[in-house]
Amino acid sequence: MSKPIIIVTGDLDSVFFEIFFKSLKKKKFKSPIILICNVENYKLEKTKYKFKGIEKTYTLKQIFKKNLNPKTIYLLDIELSKDQKQYLDKSFKIAFELIKKGISNKLINGPINKKNFLNNKFLGITEYISKSFQIKKTGMLIYNKKISVCPVTTHLPLKNVSHSISKSLIQEKINLVNNFYFKYLKVKPRIAVTGLNPHCESILKFNEDEKIIKPAIQAMKKRNINVKGPFPADTIFSSKNRQLFDVVIGMYHDQVLAPIKALFEFDAVNITMGLPFLRASPDHGPNKEMASKNKSNPTSLIRALEFLDKR
């Protein structure tokens, strides 16, 4: 039987429960679901969205002893706290314990306001989870089966990007992408790497595209990795170029996330590469302004559930 998918619901005032119940109404999944949440809050939201699935409340010790049924949602109750950060931190710690004990190797977290939760201690949830498992080399993959993207730097101020990219860091991301696709998708990916500067050119004496990015790509080609570039970021996402590659690695967050969100909107999944388990999340934020309006699109969460359900 497929191992369960663990879900940390994320921010309490987000659209998570709406997209969660909509996902389960639209699709059937073979993996059991362990939902880490406040049970009373879950029941209120279930009534609001008229969900008729079967759920049972268990303690952590009971979960360890159970053979889990795919047709059941197993609720792990988290007491509400005035400080939402404590609530989220406790939820993640329980999820990590389930993973470390071998109960599951699949984790989804709902949308989270990173600024409020991480308090500037981490750049993002990817870095927070990586630290919890003492993994130093991880990467963000925004996955769509047609084309995916990976930023070399993530939630970093733009003025810091040029000082943060390095040959070793670019090679690390190329290697993570190549290994992830081979392990989970059973393919050798076709990888494109963008330049940093417009048209891969610079009026300055030091051109990062020539001095850092191109040597990194050449070094990875020698390792028999199918990688090309650097390509100008303004043309790599043209319809013709998208047919030539599986993944585009860019130098900074919005350089590659803006195009893929314009192309696919909610039809993409945020995946962390390099962890000893699969972690995914919907590729959008909490959107608390839309909470309780029953207008949110569940596609990204459906794609996350589908991806983990198959593995």
Residue pointed to by tokens 């990173």: 114
* Cβ 241 vs Cβ 252: under 8 Å: no
CA distance 119 to 310: 35
- Say if residue 293's pLDDT is above 90: no
Distances 193 to 13, 146, 173, 213 between C-alpha atoms, Å: 37, 17, 10, 8
Nearest in space to 273 (alpha carbons), one of 213, 165, 162, 189: 189
Q: Which of 165-174, 182-191, 195-204 has the lowest mean pLDDT?
A: 195-204
CA distance 78 to 284: 24
pLDDT value at residue 81 = 80
* Mean pLDDT computed over 295-299: 94
* Mean pLDDT computed over 75-102: 93
CATH of span 140-268:
3.40.718.10
Residue pointed to by tokens 């010790």: 61
The DSSP 8-state label assigned to residue 184 in this structure reads I
Two tokens, residue 235: 């043309």
- At 38, which helix (H) or strand (E)? none
Residue pointed to by tokens 């990888």: 191
Query: pLDDT tens digits for 251-274?
Result: 999 999 999 999 999 999 999 999
* Mean pLDDT computed over 125-143: 94
Bridge pairing between strands 191-194 and 139-143: unpaired
CA distance 176 to 54: 38
- Say if residue 197's pLDDT is above 90: yes
Which residues have C-beta within 8 Å of that of residue 164, sequence separation ≥ 6?
A: 153, 156
CA distance 215 to 218: 5
CA distance 259 to 253: 11
Query: pLDDT tens digits for 1-58?
Result: 689 999 999 998 899 999 999 999 999 999 999 999 999 999 999 999 999 888 999 9
CA distance 305 to 282: 9
* Cβ 146 vs Cβ 246: under 8 Å: no
Q: What is the domain partition of the chain in residue ranges? A: 1-135+275-311, 140-268
CA distance 5 to 279: 10
Two tokens, residue 231: 């390509």
* DSSP bridge partners of 35: 7, 75
Residue pointed to by tokens 């400080």: 83
pLDDT value at residue 1 = 65
Same fold, 1-135+275-311 and 140-268: yes
Query: pLDDT tens digits for 39-48?
Result: 999 999 999 9
- Say if residue 66's pLDDT is above 90: no
Residue 170 phi/psi, 5° resolution?
A: -65, -45
pLDDT value at residue 150 = 98
Nearest in space to 12 (alpha carbons), one of 121, 110, 96, 106: 110
Nearest in space to 266 (alpha carbons), one of 236, 287, 241: 287
- At 50, which helix (H) or strand (E)? none
Residue pointed to by tokens 């290697």: 175
pLDDT value at residue 176 = 98
Question: Residue 113: helix, strand or coil by DSSP?
Answer: coil
pLDDT value at residue 207 = 94
> What mean pLDDT, rounded, does the chain reach?
94
* Mean pLDDT computed over 121-125: 88
Two tokens, residue 13: 């005032």
Answer with the residue of higher pLDDT: 172 or 283. 172
Concatenated DSSP letters for 4-33?
Answer: PEEEE---TTSSHHHHHHHHHHH---SS-E
pLDDT value at residue 204 = 81
Nearest in space to 10 (alpha carbons), one of 291, 232, 257, 295: 291
Query: pLDDT tens digits for 202-260?
Result: 888 889 999 999 999 999 999 999 999 999 999 999 999 999 999 999 999 999 999 99
User: In this structure, which topology does domain 1-135+275-311 adopt according to CATH?
Assistant: Isopropylmalate Dehydrogenase (3.40.718)
